[in-house]
Amino acid sequence: MKPTLLAMLILAFAAASFAADGKPVTYKSGTETVNAILYMPQGKGPFPALVVIHEWWGLNDWVKEEASKLADQGYAALAIDLYRGKVATTPEEAHEIMRGVPEDRASRDLLAATTYLGSQASVDPKRIGSIGWCMGGATRLISRLVIPG
């Protein structure tokens, strides 16, 4: 086997061994139930935590990978689903789904996510923030009063 190929295989296995596994969770937001995926770092907490807000495509594999990477860096990462299970595959679909999310519901979901994280024994409730991309970044800015940090 060529040394380059061997090195690539070793790196691939090493990277896979560090990826945090996500655990599907639910939490209440008003009268609704929200689905999310919780990624926890290895080791003993309490850990700082982040609410991970997806971009306009929805809670897709890329966002889940990023949440896993955050857990690998020592954060409890809760990847939330503002779209209630929908994931867009085209820009037109993403635009329509995004427009259909009521702002008050998104804010309520974010507050509920923060409350959920703060209730976890392995999370430091005084060290909860949020991160988002594209639509998630804008949502994070809009809801800065909901999630300080």
Domain 21-142 CATH assignment equals 3.40.1280.10: no
Vertex 54 angle, CA 51 and 55, to 5°: 145
Number of neighbouring beta carbons within 10 Å of residue 131: 17
Q: pLDDT tens, 11-33?
A: 444 444 457 899 999 999 999 99
* β partners of residue 47: 123
Ramachandran assignment for 84, one of left (phi > 0), alpha (psi -120 to 50 degrees), beta (any other): left
**Alpha-helical segments (H) within 19-121:** 61-72, 91-99, 103-118
- What are the CA-CA distances from residue 15 to residues 5, 31, 44, 68, 78 (Å)? 15, 40, 21, 12, 21
Burial class (CB in 10 A: 0-12, 13-18, 19+), 137: middle
Q: pLDDT tens, 97-106?
A: 999 999 899 9
Q: pLDDT tens, 94-143?
A: 999 999 999 899 989 999 999 999 999 999 999 999 998 877 555 544 45
Domain boundaries, the chain: 21-142
CB 76 within 8 A of CB 45: yes
Burial class (CB in 10 A: 0-12, 13-18, 19+), 69: middle
Q: What distance lies between CA 37 and its chain's CA centroid? A: 7
